A and B are shown apart, each in its own frame.
Chain A
Amino acid sequence: MRPWQRIAATEILEQRRQPAMLFVLVANYLLWLLVFGGTFVALDFVLGDPLGREMLDEQLAGSGVELDAMIRVAVSTYGSLSFTNLPLFVSIFAGNSVLHERNLGTLPFLLLAPLGRRELLVGKLAGAMAIPLGLHLVFVGAGCFLFGRIDLVDDFPLFGGGPAFWVGYLLGAPASTLFVGALGTVISALSRDVRTSMQTTSFLIGLFSLGIGYALVDGLSEGVVFELVFAASGLGLAAFALEIGARAIGRDFA
C-alpha cells in the first residue's frame, strides 16, 4: 500500500467508526427518496384514475399550475438534490481533512514520512471521497431504478437510464466532486483553525455543490457530450487545484 493509500484507508476507517455521521449521510439520501418517491407514487396513483386526474387538473388549473410543468420541476429538484449530496458531503469531509490531523497533533508524524505534499492531499481527498461516492452510487442508482418503474416519470432522462445519465452518474458527478473536494482539501491544509476552514468550505459548497447538482441533472437533456465535457472539466480542475495547493502549502507546513 502506497503512503497516500494508507492515508485514505485510515481516513475511511475513522469515518466508519462514526456511525452517527454515516447515519446522517444515509438519512439525507433516504429522505429525498421517500419524499419524492412518495410524491411520484401518489401522483401516479391519482392520475391512473380518470376521476382523480380530472379533480387534480381542476385544482391545478385553479392555481394556474400546469401538471407537466409541476412534474418536471419535481423531477429536476429531486435529481439536483440527490446529485448535490456527493459534492456537499465530500466538501465537508475534505474541508476538515488535513486540519483534522493538525488538530489531533498527528500532522508532524505524517510529515516525517516519505510523503510528498501532493501525495498527502491526494490521500486525504481519496479518503474524503470514498464513502460519499459509495452512497452516491447506491442511492442515486436506486432512485433511477425505482423511479424508472413509475409510469409518471419513467420517460425522464434521470430515470430512463440513457447514456447521458450513466455518464453523469458514473463520471460527471465523481469528477466534478473531485474538483470541489480538492479545493476543500487544500483549504483544510492551509487553514489553522476549524472556523476559517469551515467558513471557506461553506462558501465553496454554496458556490459549486448546488451548481454541480443542477448542471449535471439539467445537462442530461443536453446529451452525452455535455456530460463528458463536464466530467473532463472536473478532472482537469481537480488536478490543477491539487497542484496549486501542493505548491502553496510549502515546505514548513508543520
Chain B
Amino acid sequence: MPAKTAPRPRAKPDPEDTHRPPRDVVARLENAGRAFHGRAVLRGVTASVHAGEVLAVVGPNGGGKSTLLHLLAGLLSPTSGRVTVDGHPAHRLALEAAGIVGLVTARPGLHPLLTGRENLHHFGGLFGLAPDAVDEKAAPLARAFALSESLSSRVGTWSTGMQQKLSLVRALLLSPKLLLLDEPTANLDPPVAEMLHGEVRKRADAGLACVLVTHDLAAAEAFADRALLVDGEVKRELAFERRARPAPGPLLTAWQEAIGAR
C-alpha cells in the first residue's frame, strides 16, 4: 500500500474575487464574449485568476474552454467585454508585455527537425533572449523535467511526453506571471501527466497564476484551487477545500516505480 502524500500547503481560495487585494489578480475577464462568424461561442464571462492559484476550466467539447484560454493569451480578441492580464488588454500583450504569459497546448508545438536546445533558442530569441541567456534560464528547468541529457537531440525523435515537458520548459522560460495550459496532458501517459500536473501545482504554490483547461475532472479536482464549468458561459464556479492530494493507485504506483515518467 503506497504511503499517502502529505497535504500540500494550499490556501483556501476566497470565492469572492472582489475581496482579494488588486495585486493578487493577474488576469481578469469582464463580461467577455467571443463570436465566430456571428455565432457566440462564449458569452458574458466574468472571472479572475489570482497569483498562486490553479484555475481549472472544464466543460463539454465546443463549450468555449479553449476560446477562453485564447482570449487570456491574447491570441483572440473579445467581441464583447474586456480581458486584461496584469492590467494590459490581453490582445495587446505581445506588444505591451510580451513574456508575461506562458502557454502550453495539447500539441507540443515544437520544430521536430531542431534539437530541444535549438527550439528553446528559437522561441527565446523571439523574445530577445540571446542563446546564452536561454541556456542559463533553461538549465534548472531542464534538470527539473529530466531533459538535460536530451536537449542536444532532435525533438522529432522524442516521445510525446518529453516534447510536452519541453513545451512546459519553454512556457516557463520567461518567468511568466500567468501560465495557460490547454489540455496539456491530453496525449500523455498517466505518470507523465501526473508529473506535469505536479510541476504546475508546485509553480502555482510559488506564486504563479495558472489556468488549466482539461477534460480530466479528477486532475482538476486534485490540482486546482478553483474550477469554472464552462458551456458557452460560466455555468458554475467551484472552490475546492484544502485537502490531501489523493494517493496514486496501485497501477500508477507500479508504473512510476517500474518505468518512471518519460
Contact = CB atoms under 8 A, between A and B. Distances in A.
A and B are interacting partners = yes
A106 to B, nearest CB: 5
B103 interface: yes
A192 interface: no
Interface of A: 1, 3, 6-7, 10, 13-14, 17-18, 104-115, 251-252, 254
B122 interface: yes
B75 A105 contact: no
Interface string B114-140: 100010001101111000000000000
A13 B110 contact: no
Contacts of B126: 3, 6-7, 109-110, 113-115
B188 to A, nearest CB: 15
B13 interface: no
Which one of B101, B107, B113, B114 has the greatest number of beta carbons of chain A within 10 Å?
B113
A254 B108 CA distance: 16
B240 to A, nearest CB: 29
Which one of A3, A6, A109 has the greatest number of beta carbons of chain B within 10 Å?
A109
B107 A114 contact: no
Given A108-B103, A112-B74, A112-B103, 5 more contacts: A6-B125, A106-B110, A108-B105, A115-B94, A254-B76
A14 B111 contact: yes
Contacts, number: 77
A10 B94 contact: no
Given A104-B111, A104-B112, A252-B77, A6 B103 contact: no
A14 B94 CA distance: 25
A13 B114 CA distance: 8
Given A3-B125, A105-B108, A252-B77, A112 B101 contact: yes
B28 interface: no
B98 interface: yes
B262 interface: no
Contacts of B65: none
B125 A111 contact: no
B95 interface: yes
B32 to A, nearest CB: 14
A113 B109 contact: no
A108 B73 contact: yes
B262 to A, nearest CB: 21
A115 B93 CA distance: 11
B109 A106 contact: yes
Interface string B66-94: 00001001111100000000000001011
A8 to B, nearest CB: 11
B64 to A, nearest CB: 15
Contact of A112 (B75, B122, B128): B75
B118 A13 contact: yes
Contacts of A111: 75, 94
